[in-house]
Amino acid sequence: MRASILGTLALAALFASACGSPAAHAPPPPPLASAPPPQPAPAERTLRYSFLLMDHVAGGSVVTIHADGSRDATWEYTDRGRGPKQQTHYEIARDGTLSRLDTTGVDYLKQPVGEHLTSASGTLTWKNDAEQGSAPATPPAGYVAMQGAPDLFAALVRAILGTPDRELALLPSGRARATRVGDRTVGANGRSMHVTCYEVQGLGFQPAPTWLDDDRESFGTIDPWASVVREGWEAVVPQLMAFQRDAQAARLGALARKLGHVAPGAGLAIVHARLFDVEKKKVVPDATIVVKGDRIVAAGAGARTKVPAGVETFDAKGMTAIPGLWDMHSHVSPTDGLLDPRRWGRVKTRSSTRTSSSCSFSRARTTTRARRSASRASRRRAPRSTSRRSRCADLLKELGVEAVAR
């Protein structure tokens, strides 16, 4: 029937033209609007990363981004016979936070790991080798994974950057905020890429820096000992490390100017210390050490060592003073001196009865490292303020750390 109708219309048009119809030729009808072509589904992408110990590649990670937004990542490296080998699958909620996480494999010490996060009926539930818990899925909170590929940290940073004030509650506890530090255009193997450095505060006593590309995908996490960087871009690690070092020096310099303390001109007296006398190979109990400027002017038993008037005193009861430099294995950080709790509350000036507020200890659950230690029956401890005006509270605030009261 459709062919018959079209034939009739064609004959009528031909007849009208042959008869010289005075009517003007009608413009051709507009073409029928066609539906837009279907958009292709997002292609699956793969990002590859190298893990560098000092300056040599010791492993890496492969991140597969699926069309539905879910991700699978591998994570493996070797460090003197140790090192993790893990597989992680994770999914992202509409608010940018993790809605599912499954990590299996072995940890740095080759012990089996299993970490899982699920979301159901408006509740997030998690379980790992150190803890298990649950929390409402709203308001949004970023789960801090104990295990898994480094890309999980980039996922957390993206979630923080997606908030209006670049601050996000954390699970199991705490809060984190991200600050843009600066950017660089780096080049390697005839290519260039623009990358941005962000520092995340709230995960530890120092901000955690990381680098994202313009798609906010992880470009690298750089550290003098161990770094993760996009495969093929290993040569730019020293450049990024120098940038981070300068940023850290500026931040620590500002903290030192704000929080630093200089002893009075009369000097400093360390009292009630156990002093190890290396020449006599014995320990002097309840010793006193007097320092003026950069010189030790007196040291010995407290009963026989005079404390000059006007000096600042430091109560070292329970601590041991050792002279010189010792060859020992120790891991230190720029904030170790600031965070020694015994320096708060025991320092006073002999000419005054005023003392600074004291600090006590409580477990801090804001750091991934602390939770890893907890699984080995050893938790990191952090100062908790006993006064609204405590110097400890001011310091922790400056460092971006939220201590959790026991």
How does residue 331 score in pLDDT terms, banded at 50, 70 and 90? confident
| Closest C-alpha among 36, 72, 42, 76 to residue 59 | 76
Beta pairing class for 123-127 and 282-292: unpaired
Rounded Cα gap, residues 396 and 228, in angstroms: 28
pLDDT digits (tens, 9 = 90+) for 255-303: 888 887 788 888 999 999 999 988 888 999 999 999 998 899 999 999 9
Tell me the C-alpha distance between 34 and 172, whole Å. Answer: 53
pLDDT for 325: 66
Q: Is residue 41 over pLDDT 90?
A: no
- Say how far apart CA 159 and CA 162 lie, in whole Å: 5
Burial track 196-213 (b if 16+ CB lie within 10 A, e otherwise): bbbbbbbbbbbbbbbbbb
pLDDT of residue 36: 66
Exposed e or buried b per residue across 312-327, where buried means at least 16 C-beta atoms within 10 angstroms of its C-beta: bbbbbeeeebeeeeee
CA gap 402, 170 in Å, rounded: 11
Query: 86 with 59: CB under 8 angstroms?
Result: no
Q: Which of 188, 246, 247 is nearest to 219 (CA)?
A: 188
Give whole-number Cα distances, 64 to 43, 44, 75, 160, in Å: 11, 7, 12, 22
Higher pLDDT, 393 or 13: 393
What's the rounded Cα separation, in Å, for the pair 199 and 177? 8
CA dihedral sign of residues 80, 83, 85, 88 = negative
**Number of neighbouring beta carbons within 10 Å of residue 123:** 12
**Residue 219 predicted with pLDDT over 90:** yes
Q: Phi/psi of residue 88, each to 5°?
A: -130, 135
What integer pLDDT is reported at residue 302 of this predicted model?
94
What is the percentage of the chain residues whose pLDDT exceeds 70?
A: 71
Determine which of 35-39, 99-103, 139-143, 208-212 has the lowest per-residue pLDDT on average. Answer: 35-39
CB 96, CB 107: distance < 8 Å: no
Q: Which of 3-7, 121-125, 147-151 has the lowest mean pLDDT?
A: 3-7
Query: d(Cα 405, Cα 40) in Å, to the nearest integer?
Result: 52
Dihedral sign for Cα atoms in the order 332, 338, 341, 347: positive
- pLDDT of 251 > 50? The answer is yes
- Residue 334 is predicted with a pLDDT of 75
- pLDDT confidence band for 215 (50 / 70 / 90): very high
Give pLDDT, residue 15: 33
pLDDT value for 333: 76
CA–CA distance, 187 with 232 (Å, rounded to integer):
10
Q: Tell me, what's the pLDDT at 21? A: 40
- Average pLDDT, stretch 178-206? 95
Query: Is residue 3 predicted with pLDDT exceeding 50?
Result: no
Tokens of 387: 């006064």
* Ranges of each domain in the chain: 45-252, 261-323, 335-406
Name the residue among 48, 146, 86, 340 with its Cα closest to residue 156: 146
Q: DSSP secondary structure string, 326-359?
A: --------TTTTTT-GGGSSSEEETT---BPPPE
User: Which pLDDT value is given to residue 28?
Assistant: 65
At 212, the pLDDT band (50, 70, 90 cuts) reads very high
Region 4-29: mean pLDDT is 43
The tokens describing 342, both together, are 């015994």
Predicted confidence at residue 181, as pLDDT, reads: 97
Q: What is the pLDDT of residues 42-97, one digit of tens each?
A: 689 999 999 999 889 999 999 999 999 999 999 999 999 999 999 999 999 999 99
Q: What is the CA radius of gyration of the chain?
A: 32
Please tell me the predicted confidence (pLDDT) of residue 349. Answer: 39
Name the CATH superfamily housing domain 261-323.
Urease, subunit C, domain 1 (2.30.40.10)
pLDDT digits (tens, 9 = 90+) for 333-388: 777 666 654 444 444 433 332 222 223 222 233 344 444 444 443 333 333 333 33
**Per-residue buried b or exposed e for 88-110, using 16+ beta carbons within 10 Å of the residue's own CB:** bbbbbbebbbbbbbbbbbbbeee
For the chain, give percent helix, strand, coil, nearest 5: 20, 40, 40
Better pLDDT: 16 or 362: 16
Per-residue pLDDT at 403 exceeds 50: no
Predicted local distance difference test score (pLDDT) of residue 262: 80
Residues 113, 145: Cα–Cα separation, whole Å: 12
> Do 52 and 58 contact (CB within 8 A), yes or no?
yes
Mean pLDDT across the chain, nearest whole number? Answer: 80
For 95-140, write each residue's pLDDT tens digit: 999 999 999 999 999 999 999 999 999 999 999 999 999 999 999 9
Q: Give residue 4's pLDDT.
A: 43
